[in-house]
Every structure is written in C-alpha cells, then in structure tokens.
Amino acid sequence: MKILVSNDDGIFAEGIQSLANGLAAVGHEVIVVCPDKERSATGHGLTLNQPIRAEIVKSIFDDGITAWACSGTPADCIKLALFGLLQTQPDLVLAGINHGPNLGTDILYSGTVSAAMEGIVENIPSIAFSLGSYTSRKFEVAVNFAQSLVQKIESQPLDNLMLLNVNIPAIEKREVAGVKITRQGTPRYINRLEKRVDPRGQTYYWLAGELREDAEETKDQPLVEKLPTDIQAMGEKYITITPLQYDLTYTRQLSYLQKWKIDNFS
C-alpha cells in the first residue's frame, strides 16, 4: 500500500521514525510529510498568513522512504502532501506514533489526530496511533500492532470512511490484555493556570491539568454508548480503537431542538 505518514511531534521524533520504518520493512511504500519541529496540541490549525515551506530530509529514515519536513501544522502537512508533493493519492493516511496518549477530549487538541482527520476530510481512510506514555521510547508493540492493523485493512477495507484513533499501552507485549473497540471518553480534569514571574519580573502563565477520572455513565445511554471508553480500556491495559468522524452534529438532540419552533420567535 501507498501510505502517507505524519505526526505532531516533529521530524526527529522516535515515534514517527519507528512507524515509518516499520511499515516500509513489511513492503509498504511510505512517504513522510511532517512538521519540522514539535507542534503538539495545535489541533486542526492551518497556516493562512504566511508561506509553508517543505524540504526533503535524508538520513533520518530507512532507505526507500521519501520524507519532507514542513514548516506548518500537522494539518498543513497533509494538505501539502496531497495537493503539492504527491503525484497520486495514498491508500492510507497515518499519524503518529504520538509520544503520549490521545484519549477522551484530548483528541480535540491533538495535532496527531488532526493530521489523520485531514485525511478523512479528503476521503482517505486514516489512523492515528499514540503510545500511552510521554516518557517511554519503547515503540515495538505499537509498531507491531500498526503493521497488523494496516494488513487487516489492506485485506478487508473499511466499509465506511472513518478515522481509527488507536492508543497502545506503554507496556511489554505479554502484559497487553487485548484489543477493544471503544467510544470516546469524557474525562474530568482538574485544570490549573499557574501564574509565575520570570527573572525579569514579567508575569506569565503556565497552563496545566491533571486527569481526575472518566465521567460517570448515564442511565439513558443507547447500547453503543455502553461500550467501554478509551480511557477505561487503556487503564485496563487494552489497546483501544475508537472510530471518529469530523461531523460534530449532536444528532440525538436534533428532534429536541426542532420542538423549539424557533421560526416563531420574535
């Protein structure tokens, strides 16, 4: 398969090197277009007020992998690849392997997930891969699973266009409990905005937060929402696969809002 790979950790990140090299090793044509430096938590931002530059990078990836370092955001990288650098569209867009998990509402801010989502916007099946640790550099389990999942999709293509958000625990293979299809969690965070003063006496702020727990279940949830959340399953040492889409319509509330008869308001 022809696979486009990007990330938000930058061209020098071990995660993307491991993923790209691992896929090339099993016979896939791999093209890398990713930020030239870390662009974590940039969401789906685009560069509109300045030029985007891309340079071919050699010696970082295995021979046979063509790689560009891009001055823009992760979403920029995918747009640039599809409309400026590649002659033909890839079969898959992959993002990662991210250094740290992308679970629950974190996916709204994730540049990794946004890079993969840009593939979906352009009608290309996409997968975002994340390792469940910010400090671990052991990507072997994640790479092996990525190889297996890509092979699965190659032999059994997805019936519907979707983004698969995959999170892999940062543990040894023998410790992985299995693989679960999950829904997006709704975590509760303790948010902190720390006010500090620099050596020159200037005030600055540092945004921080700590995951407290996953939100509790509600009694009226439909059956599909009784699936475990990505946060719950990761806590139980499962690899999680959560299908995502860019349509954010709250469909369950459409009928409720129609009862407003808002056209009668004055």
CATH number assigned to the domain comprising residue 27: 3.40.1210.10
Please tell me the number of Cα atoms within 13 Å of 266 on its side-chain side.
Answer: 0
Rounded Cα gap, residues 12 and 215, in angstroms? 36
- The answer as to whether 7 is a domain residue is yes
**Cβ-based neighbour number of residue 223 at 10 Å:** 6
* Structural domain count, the chain: 1
- What's the confidence (pLDDT) of residue 159? 87
Q: How far is CA 172 from CA 6, 151, 191, in A?
A: 25, 22, 32
Helix 140-155 to helix 14-25 angle, to the nearest 10 degrees?
50
- The answer as to whether 218 is a domain residue is no
- What's the confidence (pLDDT) of residue 213? 56
- The answer as to whether 197 is a domain residue is no
Rounded Cα gap, residues 20 and 97, in angstroms? 9
Domain of 162, in residue numbers? 2-182+223-254
Rounded Cα gap, residues 226 and 244, in angstroms? 17
Rounded Cα gap, residues 94 and 116, in angstroms? 6
Cβ(110)–Cβ(42) under 8 Å? Answer: no
- The answer as to whether 144 is a domain residue is yes
Please tell me the number of Cα atoms within 13 Å of 131 on its side-chain side.
Answer: 27
- The answer as to whether 200 is a domain residue is no
- The answer as to whether 204 is a domain residue is no
- What's the confidence (pLDDT) of residue 191? 63
- The answer as to whether 205 is a domain residue is no
Block means of pLDDT (10 residues each) for the chain, 266 residues, are 96 97 97 95 90 93 95 96 96 96 92 96 97 93 98 94 97 96 80 82 79 55 72 94 93 85 66
pTM given for the model: 0.90
- What's the confidence (pLDDT) of residue 132? 94
- The answer as to whether 168 is a domain residue is yes
